[in-house]
């Protein structure tokens, strides 16, 4: 983990407020009595939503930082603020390096022109020359797998084709900071794996990556650190496994169905491990050897045995 590297992205007290629409009177009443309608509108209480509130964190060069949370927690809004697509109501965002983004599905594309022209336009908007984009174009098209369709208008593309082309553009821009939203969930499993392989290569090159995702397995697999957002606030930052565990625990507290699914998944994992231990002696020996070298496991086992012994004594009394 690049814990000692240069800070290339910093959010300091970032908040974003949106006004909510005030329910209006019927159009007929407003037209017939405009004075009364205006007076009623002025005295209505203004409603607002803080989509992101007082968020502060830093990301260092080469770090993979993931943000998780339930729908509506403010993850995507925060990513838009980091990308500069939206201005914070309060606080500041500092970026050091060339930024490439993959946020909303279809963002930055014109549906009436071809995929080829959209690729070149995206590069020009990011500061590259037409010659540089034409040199990158073959790699982008090959990665996206759209060789047969690259000269077709993008209004004919499916949502998966949009994502494939969008990710290919973002990844081949030679970014120093890559911001990725959960749009990768639209692609099929094969393309998702291809994207994650490319992300791993970018990570190895020292590219800083900030990803918003519901794919908790990918968060644990790739991230150096993760953060949990709830109701616009960043409530936890730390090791990916711990943050994902906290996220699942919070979800389970709000939904019996999620609690049941987690419990069933844990039971299935235990059964799978038990079957492996029974069917593969070599794997069982390696597993036992690993446990012998794990002090935390022995401490936990000792506590469980002590608890069971105390329970047996209480029943005997």
CA distance 187 to 78: 23
Please indicate, yes or no, if residue 248 is contained in any of the structural domains.
Answer: no
Nearest to 233 by CA among 106, 18, 51: 51
Q: What is the pLDDT along the chain (317 residues), one digit of tens a residue?
A: 565 678 999 999 999 998 875 555 566 666 777 777 666 666 555 678 899 999 999 999 999 999 998 888 889 899 999 988 889 999 999 999 888 887 765 667 888 999 999 989 888 877 788 888 888 888 889 888 888 899 999 889 888 888 888 888 877 877 888 888 876 665 667 777 787 888 888 888 888 999 998 888 888 888 999 999 998 999 999 999 999 988 888 877 776 665 666 566 556 656 666 776 677 777 677 767 766 766 666 666 677 667 655 555 555 55
Please indicate, yes or no, if residue 216 is contained in any of the structural domains.
Answer: yes
Domain around 312: 257-316
Task: Give yes or no: residues 278 and 184 share one domain.
Answer: no
Check residue 66 and give its pLDDT: 93
3-state helix, strand, coil in the chain (%, to 5): 55, 20, 25
Task: Give yes or no: residues 269 and 191 share one domain.
Answer: no
Check residue 196 and give its pLDDT: 80
Please indicate, yes or no, if residue 130 is contained in any of the structural domains.
Answer: yes
Q: Are 244 and 68 a contacting pair, CB within 8 Å?
A: yes
100: β partners: 178
Give, in degrees to the nearest 5, the angle at Cα 315 between 312 and 317: 110
Task: Give yes or no: residues 233 and 307 share one domain.
Answer: no
Backbone angles phi, psi at 105, to 5 degrees: -60, 120
Check residue 58 and give its pLDDT: 94
Check residue 45 and give its pLDDT: 55
Check residue 42 and give its pLDDT: 62
Q: Are 239 and 225 a contacting pair, CB within 8 Å?
A: yes
CA distance 141 to 80: 26
Check residue 263 and give its pLDDT: 62
Distances (CA, A) of 138 to 144, 147, 153, 284: 10, 9, 18, 49
The strand pair at 64-69 and 177-180 is best described as unpaired
Task: Give yes or no: residues 213 and 265 share one domain.
Answer: no
Size of the chain, expressed as the number of residues it contains: 317
Check residue 106 and give its pLDDT: 60
pTM of the model: 0.70
Task: Give yes or no: residues 265 and 231 share one domain.
Answer: no
Q: What's the total number of domains in the chain?
A: 2
Please indicate, yes or no, if residue 247 is contained in any of the structural domains.
Answer: no
């Amino acid at each position: 983990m690049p814990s000692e590297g240069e800070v290339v992205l910093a959010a300091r007290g970032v908040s974003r407020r949106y006004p909510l629409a005030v329910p209006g009177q019927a159009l007929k009443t407003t037209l017939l009595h405009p004075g009364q309608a205006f007076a009623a509108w002025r005295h209505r209480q203004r409603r607002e939503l803080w989509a992101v509130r007082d968020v502060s964190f830093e990301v260092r060069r080469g770090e993979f930082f993931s943000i998780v949370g339930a729908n509506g927690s403010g993850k995507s809004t925060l990513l838009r603020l980091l990308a500069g697509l939206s201005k914070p109501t309060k606080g500041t965002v500092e970026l050091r390096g060339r930024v490439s983004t993959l946020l909303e599905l279809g963002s930055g594309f014109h549906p009436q022109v071809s995929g080829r022209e959209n690729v070149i336009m995206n590069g020009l908007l990011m500061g590259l020359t037409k010659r540089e984009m034409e040199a990158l174009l073959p790699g982008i098209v090959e990665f996206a797998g759209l060789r047969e369709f690259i000269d077709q208008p993008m209004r004919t593309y499916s949502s998966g084709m949009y994502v494939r082309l969008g990710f290919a553009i973002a990844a081949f821009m030679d970014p120093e900071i890559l911001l990725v939203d959960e749009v990768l969930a639209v692609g099929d499993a094969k393309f998702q794996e291809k994207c994650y392989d490319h992300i791993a290569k970018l990570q190895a090159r020292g590219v800083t990556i900030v990803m918003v995702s519901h794919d908790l397995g990918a968060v644990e697999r790739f991230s150096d650190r993760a953060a949990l957002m709830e109701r616009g606030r960043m409530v936890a930052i730390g090791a990916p496994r711990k943050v994902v565990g906290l996220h699942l625990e919070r979800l389970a507290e709000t939904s019996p169905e999620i609690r049941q699914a987690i419990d069933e998944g844990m039971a299935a994992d235990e059964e799978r491990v038990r079957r492996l231990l029974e069917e593969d002696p070599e794997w069982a020996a390696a597993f036992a050897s690993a446990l012998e070298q794990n002090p935390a496991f022995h401490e936990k086992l000792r506590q469980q045995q002590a608890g069971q012994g105390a329970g047996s004594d209480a029943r005997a009394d």
